[in-house]
Amino acid sequence: MKLDGRVSVITGAGSGIGAATAILFASGGARVALVDLDDKGLQEVRREIGAGRASVLEFKEDVSDSGAAERTIQAVVREWGIVEVLVTSAAISTGGTVTTITEKDWDRVFAVNTKGTFLWARAVLPHMIRAGRGSIITLASQLALAAGRGSAPYVASKGAVISLTRSIALDYAQYGVRANVIIPGAIETPMLERSFVRKADPEAARECSRQRHPLGRFGTPQEVAYAALYLASDDSSFTTGAQFVVDGG
């Protein structure tokens, strides 16, 4: 199996892309630590992975809390001795332009999406450096490259995730740690659905978004999870600092 016994921490594992990644990694033999605020989502993912498996840990934590990142990684290392893969999928998306977003909402989006990537990378890196290997996989968005109307804080926070990931790749390559960012297009998850519901005409917004994808459809969380599986496995051993676009063209 591709990820035989590999210790993986996945934030946002209770829903969408994070959930699909956790399920795929577990089916590939990984030991998975699931992190999310959503307790119910965590339980469902655990059930799907299989109640009998001993290789799952769950943590109901807020990724923007630095204490939570340190606490969780220490617990994982106590249990399994190492952290080899980190996937940072937890994020929030609020609409808004520079003139309509409140400062409070701006700060919250950056706290979860950008700081929530930095804090978890910071918590795992000493363990990866000690082991002389590791793979950090972050989640940005195609909107960070192309921009998108009415989502300025989300788009900006994801642009920062791309830059942060490439900085990590440069700074820690010497220790055998790789860092790559996955850049999805529109993927059928609760987050995407919420982004349409916010619009005045959700059906028109859904159709407009679909048409932006040359393959003529939205992606599935599993199609993104396969990219994460590649980046977590030794198949991608010469890949770091890459922007891995999974956006239907």
Q: Which of 23, 31, 41, 56 binds ligand NAP (CB under 6 A)?
A: 41
The structure tokens listed for 17 are: 């892309």
| In contact, 25 and 8? CB cutoff 8 Å | yes
Euclidean distance between CA atoms 41 and 182, whole angstroms:
22
Work out the angle between the directed axes of helices 39-49 and 16-27 (0-180°, nearest 10). 30
Burial of 67 (0-12, 13-18, 19+ CB in 10 A): exposed
Q: Which of 10, 56, 63, 121 binds ligand NAP (CB under 6 A)?
A: 63
String marking each residue 133-152 x if it binds ligand NAP according to CB under 6 A? ------x-x-----------
Q: How far is the CB of 169 from ligand NAP (least distance, A)?
A: 18
Whether 154 sits among the annotated catalytic residues: the reply is yes
Interaction between residue 15 and ligand NAP (CB under 6 A): yes
Closest CB to ligand NAP among 172 and 244? 244
Closest CB to ligand NAP among 81 and 229? 229
SS3 9: strand
Handedness of CA 222, 226, 227, 231 (dihedral sign): positive
| In contact, 232 and 151? CB cutoff 8 Å | no
The DSSP call for residue 244 is E
Interaction between residue 21 and ligand NAP (CB under 6 A): no
Q: Which of 17, 23, 24, 152 binds ligand NAP (CB under 6 A)?
A: 17
Q: How far is the CB of 212 from ligand NAP (least distance, A)?
A: 12
SS3 78: helix
Q: How far is the CB of 31 from ligand NAP (least distance, A)?
A: 20
Letter for the amino acid at 8? Answer: S
The structure tokens listed for 6 are: 């590999």
Question: Which one from 154, 172, 175, 226 is the annotated catalytic residue?
Answer: 154
From edge to edge, which strands make up the β-sheet containing 134-139? 56-60, 31-36, 7-11, 85-88, 134-139, 177-184, 243-246
Count interface residues toward ligand NAP (CB under 6 A). Answer: 27
Show contacts with ligand NAP in window 95-114 (CB under 6 A). Answer: 112
Euclidean distance between CA atoms 235 and 233, whole angstroms:
5
Interaction between residue 180 and ligand NAP (CB under 6 A): no
Q: Which of 121, 184, 231, 242 binds ligand NAP (CB under 6 A)?
A: 184
Interaction between residue 89 and ligand NAP (CB under 6 A): yes
Q: How far is the CB of 220 from ligand NAP (least distance, A)?
A: 10
- Contact positions toward ligand NAP, by CB under 6 A? 12, 14-18, 36-38, 41, 62-64, 89-92, 112, 139, 141, 184, 186-187, 189-192
List, by residue number, the catalytic residues.
154
